[in-house]
Amino acid sequence: MICAAAVVVPPAAAADHLVEIDIVGINDFHGRLEQNRQSAGAASLAGAVQAFETANANTLFVSAGDNIGASTFTSFVADDVPTMDALELMDLDAAALGNHEFDRGRVDVDDRVLPAVEDTFPYLAANLYDTTTGEPAYQEYALEEVDGLTVAFVGAMTEDLPSLVSPAGIETLEVKPMLPEVNRVAAQLSDGDEANDEADVIVLLVHEGANGADVADATGATSFGQLVTGLSDDVHAVFSGHTHQRYAHLVPVDGWGADVARPVVQGGQYGEALAHVQLTVDPTTGDLVASEAHVVDLVDDETSELEYPQVEAVQDVVDAAVLEADELGSVSLGTVTEDLFRAQNADGSSNRGGESTLGNLVADVQLWATQDLGTEIAFMNPGGLRTDILFASSGEGDPDGNVTFREAAEVQPFANTLVALTMTGEQVVQVLEEQWQPEGAERAILKLGVAGLTYTYDPTAAQGERVTDVWVGDEWLDPAGEYRVVANSFLASGGDNFTTFADVTAEDRADSGRIDLQAFVDYMDAMSPVSPDLAQRAVGVQLPAAPEGGFAPGSTFEVDLSSLLFSAGEEQGDEVVVHLGDTEVGRADIDPTIVDGTDEVGRATVEVTLPDWAVGTVALVAHVPGTGTEAWFAVPGQLPSSLVPVEPVRVPTPPVVAPDVPVCIQVGGISPVPAEAVGVVLNVTTVRPNSYGHVVVYPDGATGRATEGSTVNFEPGKDVANTTFVPLSEDGRLCYVTRGAPAAGVLLDVSAFLLPDSGVELQASRRLVDTRPSTPAGPYVGPVRNRTPYEVQVTGEAGVPAEATAVLLNVTVTGPTAPGNLRVFAGGDDVPGTSVVNYAPGQDKANLAMVTLSEDGTVSFWSDTPVGPARNPVHVVLDVVGWVTAEAEYTEIVPDRVLDTRDGAKLMAHQERTLDLNDLADLPADATTVVLNVTAIRPSSVGNLRVYPETGGATPNVSSINYIQGRELPNLVVVAVPEDGRISLYSDQPHGGTVDVAVDVVGWFTADAEGPEPV
C-alpha cells in the first residue's frame, strides 16, 4: 500500500533536462532485525531499498534517527552491533542522531556508535553543541553527488533530548533550538561560497515529528510545526521521526509558487514502511520543479506477506544474531502466574499515563534489590518498559508462565543502573506531582510505577497541587523527613521532566552500579513464581466542598473516585466500598471505561452517609474487594467542644515488645479518633509478662519523667489493665515502653477522645508526689502511715493551673506488706468509702483517678489496711496526666455506688448484666459519657470484665479489668451513655467462674449545644 502526495512536473519543463532524485528513509527502526508481524525485518528492508535503487540510480537512503536503542532482544543482547552492520550493508547514506542513540550517554555515542559506522554513513546533528568548546558537537551535514547535483542532508535533534535520556549522560551537550540552527546551516550551503560547501538540494533529517497524521499536526503550534513552517525556502524536503507516525505531506512554501511544495514525511516505526520523497530538479537553474511524497508499506496489511525480497547478505547478519540471541535468551529466569501488563489505551496501544502491574512490579524489584542500601521507596518510569511479560508460551521449549532472559531484556533494554537518593518528603511529593508533565511535553501524564508508598490525588486540581495524601508503608509521609529512594539512572538524573531528582545533591546520591535488568534476573530467581499485584497504589479522590464548620454527623455527600482498576483486561472488582472504621458508609459500581492517556480507568461516584457519631476530621477508606486496593482520605466534620466517648476500639500493636524499646503509633486521624483530637482515654492492658515490671504511655516526642512513670504495674503471667488519659502529639501519635519484663504484650483500647476546648487538658505525665526516699517528690518523704490523711497542693504544681476544678492522677502504690487500699479525694473532705487502688503484699499497683479539687486546689490520699499502722508501710506516687476546668461540660459528684453484687448474686462467667443509669436522679438527659470507678472483687479465676453501652449488638472484644484470682482490682472506666441510658457488664471467665463487681459513678460529661452523639 502506498500513501502519496504529488506535484506534477510543469508542462514548460523539458523532461530530458530534469534530474529525478528518489530519497527513501526510515525512522525509529530500534534494532528490529527480524521480521515480526508488520515489521519487515532488516533483510526485506534492504530489498526495498535495492528495488528503488534499481528503478532509479539517483536513489539515496537515509534515517531520521533511533536506528538503535530500545531494540528487540536479538539486537539488544549484542549491543546493537548487528543492526549497525545491517545498515552498513544497505549503504545508508546519512542518519540523524536520535535520542535513543544516547541511551548510554554521549561517551557511548562518541566512543562506540560513531566509530562502528563511520566508514559507511555519518550521524548528523546541527543543534547539539559541546558545552566546553561552544562549537557543534557532531557533524552538521553530509553531501552526496547525484547526477551532477549536490544533495545535502542536515541533521537535527529533538529539543526534548534532556528529558528523554539521562541528563548525566549528556551533561557536556547543549541542545539548541532546531529552527535557527537548521536555517543557519541551510544558509551556509546556499550562500554561493564554495569554500564552505554548497548544495543544490537540501534535505532535513530531524528526530522530531508530528503527533498525528493530519497536515495540521505537522504545521500547528508545536515545536515540530514551528520548524516546518519556519524553515528557510532553501530546505527542499523534511524526513522526520521520533513520534512513530505515518504521513506524507506536501507543504506550500512562500516564494516557491503554487506548482511545487515541500515534502514532509515520516515512515512510522520498526521498519514497517519506507518514507519516500521524489524531487525533480532542473540542473540548469537548480530549481525544484516537482515533488512527490509517499509512505510505502513493506508488509501487506492483510496477508502479512513481505512486499520486497530479502537480501541474502543482510539476512546472514540477522541469522547470526538470532542464533546468538536464542542461545543467550532461552535461559529461564523463573515463572509468573499471570500476565504482567503495561497500561493500555482503549485501542490496546501502550499508555504511559496509566498505572500498570508491570510498572509496579519493576519498582518492587528495584526496592528489593537495594534494600541493603536502606531504600524505602522506588520509582519506575513507564517509558522504560518496552513490552509486557506474558504468561502464555511463545513456542516449543517455553512452557506457560516461563520467563526467559530474552523476555526480561525486552522489557528493560536500556541497561540503566540503580541509584539511591536521600530525599525529603517534600521532594518525594514533588516527584509525584511531576507525573503531570509541563505544558508542551510529548505526553500529558507519565505515570510512575511505585513501591513502598501509596497516595491519593485529585485529577481536577491545578498543576503542582494534585497529590493529596501520601503514605510510606503504613505511615503518613513526613514532608520534613528524609527517605531513601531508588530510581534508575535515567530517572535519577531528571529524565522525562522529573527534574526534582536532578536537584538532589551529589552528597545525597549514590549510584549502586547494579543494572536494572540484573536486578530483575535476581528477583525472579529469588521470588518465583511472581504474580501481579492488583492493588492500585494511586487512587483519584475528588471531595465536594465542605460546608462551613465541616460535614455534620449523619450528613450525605458524593465522593468521586478514579484509578480503581488497571486497564489491560486484568480480572478485577466491579464495586468499591467505603468504610469509616468498621462501619460501611457507602458503595458504588465501578465504571471500567478506559480514559486514553490517563490513569482514570475505574471510576465511581459514591454516596457517603456519615454515621451520627462521626465528628471532626474523619478518615474514610475506599477499597475494591478482591484486589487489595485501599485508599484513605480525610473528610472534615463538625467539632464539638467536649469529651467524646466511643465504643472501645483496639489500636493495632505488636504482639510482644522488648523492654526499654519505645513503640510509637498513629492514633489521631485513624477512625474513630479524628485528626483534631488532642488526647485519648485508653485502657492499657499488659498481657502475659514474664516478670515484674511496668508500662508507661506518653505522647510521642515527650522526654524525661514523662517516659519514666508507670501506667500499669504488672507481675509474671498476669494480665493487668489500667485506664489512662493520654495527650497526643501534634501529629496524633503516642508511644509506650515497658520496663522490667524481657517480654510482654501490650493492648491499647480507645474508649474516648478529647477535642480542643473540651475543658479537659492533658499533658505528658508530671510527678506530683513520690514518698520513696530514693526518688522523692512533693511534700512527703517516707512510708505512708495507715489511716492518716495526707493533703497535697495540686494547683500551681506539676503543670496544673489555678483554674483547674479536678485533676487526672495516675496513682501508684509501691512496696505494700499487707493487703489494703488507697483512697484519693478532694483535700479536706471526709474520707470516702470507695478506693482508687486495691493492693496486695509485695506488688506495685497503679490506677487512674479523676479527683475533684478542694476550693484551694488540694487533694488528699489515705491508706487503709486491716492491720496496725506500724506494720504496713506503703509508698505512694501521684503523677498528673491532666486536669478539668470550669469550661468543661463535666460534672464531678461524690462517688455514688450504683452496683455492688456482694449484696446479691455474683456475676457469672459469660453472663451479661445491665445497669440502668436512669436510676441516677442527678444524671442529666444530655449526658453523653459517664465516668465510673469499677472494681472486680475476688474473681474465682482468671478472666476479664467488659463495660460498654448496651446496644443489642455483639459483646466488644476489649476488656475494662483483667482479673487476678482472689484479688480486688479497680479501674476507671469511661463509657458512652446510650439513648436508653443502659450500660452492660460482661464477665469473660472459664465456665463456672464468678466475680463480684462494685460500680461507683464519679462524674459525667454532657454535650455542648452542637455536641455529638456517643460513638
pLDDT digits (tens, 9 = 90+) for 234-251: 999 999 999 989 999 999
Q: 570: closest CA among 597, 532, 600, 540?
A: 532
Q: How many C-beta neighbours within 10 Å does residue 716 have? A: 12
What are the pLDDT digits (tens) for 180-197? Answer: 999 999 999 999 999 999
pLDDT band per the 50, 70, 90 thresholds, residue 10:
very low
Alpha-carbon span 225 to 501, nearest angstrom: 31
Does the pLDDT at position 1 exceed 60? no
Read off the C-alpha cell for 769: 508526689
Q: Which helix (H) or strand (E) holds 720?
A: strand 720-727
Residue 56 is predicted with a pLDDT of: 98
Alpha-carbon span 460 to 441, nearest angstrom: 19
Is residue 814 a contact partner of residue 820, using CB atoms and an 8 Å limit? no
Q: Which helix (H) or strand (E) holds 44?
A: helix 42-55
For domain 333-527, say whether CATH 3.90.1150.10 is its number: no
Task: Please work out, in degrees rounded to the nearest 5, the angle formed at the alpha carbon of residue 687 by the alpha carbons of 686 and 692.
Answer: 65
- Per DSSP bridges, beta strands 19-26 and 59-63 are parallel
Is residue 456 a contact partner of residue 443, using CB atoms and an 8 Å limit? no
Residue in the structure block whose three cell numbers are 530549481: 287
What letter does residue 588 receive in the DSSP assignment? E
C-alpha separations of 877 from 531, 712, 764, 824 in Å: 57, 13, 16, 12
Q: Which one is predicted more confidently, 937 or 225?
A: 225
Residue 800 is predicted with a pLDDT of: 94
What are the pLDDT digits (tens) for 32-61? Answer: 999 988 999 999 999 999 999 999 999 999
| Residue type for position 736 | Y
Alpha-carbon span 318 to 332, nearest angstrom: 23
Does the pLDDT at position 13 exceed 50? no
Alpha-carbon span 468 to 745, nearest angstrom: 36
Global pTM reads: 0.59
Residue in the structure block whose three cell numbers are 493551673: 801
Q: How many C-beta neighbours within 10 Å does residue 508 have? A: 16
Alpha-carbon span 653 to 745, nearest angstrom: 9
Read off the C-alpha cell for 621: 477508606
Residue 613 is predicted with a pLDDT of: 79
Residue 1010 is predicted with a pLDDT of: 38
Residue in the structure block whose three cell numbers are 483500647: 749
Please report, to the nearest 10 degrees, the dihedral formed by the alpha carbons of residues 973, 977, 980, 985 taken in order: -10
Is residue 311 a contact partner of residue 43, using CB atoms and an 8 Å limit? yes
What letter does residue 373 receive in the DSSP assignment? G
Alpha-carbon span 619 to 246, nearest angstrom: 51
Alpha-carbon span 931 to 920, nearest angstrom: 13
pLDDT band per the 50, 70, 90 thresholds, residue 871:
low
Taking the CA atoms of 790, 786, 939 and 998 in sequence, report the sign of the dihedral they define: negative
- Range of lowest pLDDT (179-188, 415-424, 534-543): 415-424
Residue 9 is predicted with a pLDDT of: 43
What are the pLDDT digits (tens) for 805-849? Answer: 889 898 889 888 888 889 999 999 999 887 888 888 877 888 888
pLDDT band per the 50, 70, 90 thresholds, residue 867:
low
Summarize the confidence of residues 243-264 as an average pLDDT: 95
- Above pLDDT 70, what percent of the chain? 95
Give the residue extent of every domain in the chain.
21-321, 333-527, 538-637, 761-888, 889-1009
Summarize the confidence of residues 365-385 as an average pLDDT: 95
- Per DSSP bridges, beta strands 693-699 and 712-714 are antiparallel
Q: 583: closest CA among 546, 636, 635, 620?
A: 620
Summarize the confidence of residues 279-295 as an average pLDDT: 96
Alpha-carbon span 876 to 873, nearest angstrom: 10
| Count of residues making up the chain | 1015
Pinpoint the alpha helices (H) of 549-594: none
Read off the C-alpha cell for 641: 467542644
Does the pLDDT at position 921 exceed 60? yes
- Above pLDDT 90, what percent of the chain? 59
Q: Are domains 761-888 and 889-1009 of this chain identical in fold?
A: yes
Read off the C-alpha cell for 633: 482520605
Does the pLDDT at position 1014 exceed 50? no
For domain 538-637, say whether CATH 2.60.40.10 is its number: yes
Q: 311: closest CA among 567, 48, 613?
A: 48
Q: How many C-beta neighbours within 10 Å does residue 877 have? A: 23
| Residue type for position 22 | D
Read off the C-alpha cell for 915: 445497669
The CB-side HSE value for 217 (13 A sphere, CA atoms) comes to 17
Task: Please work out, in degrees rounded to the nearest 5, the angle formed at the alpha carbon of residue 402 by the alpha carbons of 398 and 408.
Answer: 105
Does the pLDDT at position 323 exceed 70? yes
- Per DSSP bridges, beta strands 201-207 and 237-240 are parallel
Residue 1015 is predicted with a pLDDT of: 41
- Per DSSP bridges, beta strands 679-687 and 720-727 are antiparallel
pLDDT band per the 50, 70, 90 thresholds, residue 11:
very low
For domain 889-1009, say whether CATH 3.30.70 is its number: no
- Classified as helix, coil or strand, 843 is coil
Fold for the domain defined by 21-321: Purple Acid Phosphatase; chain A, domain 2 (3.60.21)
Does the pLDDT at position 923 exceed 90? no
Fold for the domain defined by 761-888: Jelly Rolls (2.60.120)
C-alpha distance across the termini of the chain, in Å: 72
| Residue 471 bridge partners (DSSP) | 454, 476
Alpha-carbon span 490 to 505, nearest angstrom: 16
Read off the C-alpha cell for 149: 547535483
